[in-house]
Amino acid sequence: MGKVLLAAPRGFCAGVERAIRTVEHVLERHGPPVYVRRQIVHNTRVVRDLAARGAVFVEELDEVPEGSVVVLSAHGVAPEVHTQAAARELSVVDAVCPLVTKVHREAERFAAAGYEIALVGHAGHEEVTGTVGHAPGRIRVVASPEEARALPVADPSRVVWLSQTTLAVDEVAVTVDALRDRLPLLADPPGDDICYASQNRQDAVRAIASRCDLLLVVGSANSSNSARLAEVALRAGARDARLVDDAARVREEWFEGVATVGVSSGASVPEPLVASLVAALAERGYAEVEEVPVTEETLRFALPRPLAAISSPAPEAFPSAAAPAAADGPPATGPPSADG
């Protein structure tokens, strides 16, 4: 008989929950179709379920009929996306995570103060693309210590580093150390950019990794924070670690010689997917389940402010996209996170 170690916390973070509730709320008030630019969060199951309820996911705004309602994803966008929305007379609800908005504001402030910005992150990721758009010409994306050591700068005394929110903490630290070796006067951000949920899920995986012969992370392949959890597990001592969309993706050959299986999930993963995996593991003989909590999360974010003003399902009740509305309402419950 085998054993399952269930990491906690896992699954939805406050930003993901807020983004999904935003689409649900707009669907309820407006009725389908409601257009969503890009995946609202990086999870196949969530996107499929929302599409079944009337959400229409598009890559770019030119796919959205003029005058329609459009929701922007949790990963954040560049200001030019709001400009495009205004030109098409779209009614925008911005579901950007408030912790991503925090990084946008930092980039704007440092750029205005004349700093060059080294953004630790993965080029092409939606969050990184959005952040770069808030300080065009001032940000260079740095993905590794090697890139950090080769970073060209105009004034070594006026450089600051920021980070994509979903990276592994130790991954960022190694790259920042390389930046600081090259730039001793490198400035730090005013607070941690790694989101509290990414940090907590990484800590939870570290707490069980050394006890696991196999650690399964439930999450989609395009989910940065989910992929980082599998990497953290290997660095923290798991014999093997795999990223799986759901229980159906688990393969028999992974279990040879495995007595203990760890389970976690990324911040955009619904808990029923984890429950389904645990049930599938029980059928394989891993019936004993021990949950290993490292902290309790109570933070929740209020819905985007435009939704609070809606009093009818008519599309004209949504604000115009001519000027981006503040998308980061105050926390609804719980203390501010360390990133706030």
- Report strand pairing: 139-142 vs 34-37: unpaired
The amino acid present at 103, given as its one-letter code, is V
Contacts of 317-320 with C-beta under 8 Å, sequence gap 24+, read 317/29, 318/30, 318/69, 318/91, 318/92, 318/93, 319/91, 319/92, 320/86, 320/89, 320/91
Distance separating alpha carbons of residues 274 and 263, to the nearest angstrom? 8
The catalytic position among 127, 147, 283, 316 is 127
Q: Can 89 be counted among the known catalytic residues?
A: no
For residue 92, the surrounding DSSP H or E stretch is strand 91-94
Coil, helix or strand for 171?
A: helix
Residue at token pair 């990721």 = 125
Residue 127 CB partners (closer than 8 Å, separation 6+): 75, 76, 100, 121, 164, 165, 166, 224
Closest of 200, 280, 285 to residue 244, by C-alpha: 280
DSSP run (H or E) holding 289: strand 288-293
Q: Output the CA angle 219-223-226, nearest 5 degrees.
A: 50
Torsion over CA of 58, 61, 65 and 66, rounded to 10 degrees? 160
Give CA–CA dist 340/121, Å, rounded.
Answer: 20
Please give the structure tokens belonging to residue 82: 């709001």
* Coil/strand/helix, residue 280: helix
The number of residues in the chain equals 340
Positions annotated as catalytic residues are 127
